[in-house]
Amino acid sequence: PDEPWCPYKVGGDAGTGARLCFRPPARGFQCSARGCRAHRSAGGALVANVLRNGSVLLQWGPRNWGPPSPRLSAALRGFSLNCSWDGTYTRFPCDSVELGAACRDYLLAEAHGSVRYRVCLQPRYAPPRPAPPAQCVEFRVEPAAMRDIVVAMTAVGGSICVMLVFICLLVAYITENLMSPALARGGHA
């Protein structure tokens, strides 16, 4: 049977408000050693799969917060996801996200390279059940992949080639127009 869609709401700036979105779950995703690095929270409930393309797939399961019971499952209202990253002098907040009870993963599509992230996930239950403590995971996204470096170096190399051609043409022009009259005068004397 198909799993339900994951509804989530991304918190925006004060003037823009929040927007409601839906995404299909990433069923059966496994982090392979070649394609990503997995980071687990201290309690093991939250996993951050840092992919080589700079995105991060967060995964969790309700069973990791304690023994599953039908009463707890019925009381689960969703999850709150908050993240922040370290800048040079201060800590910057990422988008805060409210996820539906059917959600078991979330994709951070564009994470900054060489920056330390802290992501915390907390389940939300209907009253009077108190929410368990948040599970937090810290990770660092690797800088740009080697292919990005190769593309940049190719662009720089192409620019250098164009500059060298321009310099050669300039030297040829100077040699032809400035040196030829001096040689011509020397030949007539």
Q: Which CATH architecture best describes the domain 6-142?
A: Sandwich (2.60)
Q: Contact, 138 vs 120, CB < 8 A? A: no
The per-residue pLDDT for range 11-63, each reduced to its tens digit, is 755 445 667 888 888 877 888 877 888 899 988 889 999 988 888 999 997 55
User: What six digits make up the tokens of 29?
Assistant: 């995703």
| Whether residue 66 has pLDDT greater than 60 | no
**pLDDT one-digit tens code per residue, 119-153:** 999 998 888 777 788 899 999 887 755 545 655 66
User: How many angstroms from the chain centroid is the CA of residue 32?
Assistant: 18
Give the predicted TM-score (pTM) of the model.
0.65
pLDDT, greater one: 131 or 9: 9
Handedness of CA 61, 2, 9, 77 (dihedral sign): negative
**What burial class does residue 138 get, using C-beta atoms within 10 Å of its C-beta: 0-12 exposed, 13-18 middle, 19+ buried?**
middle
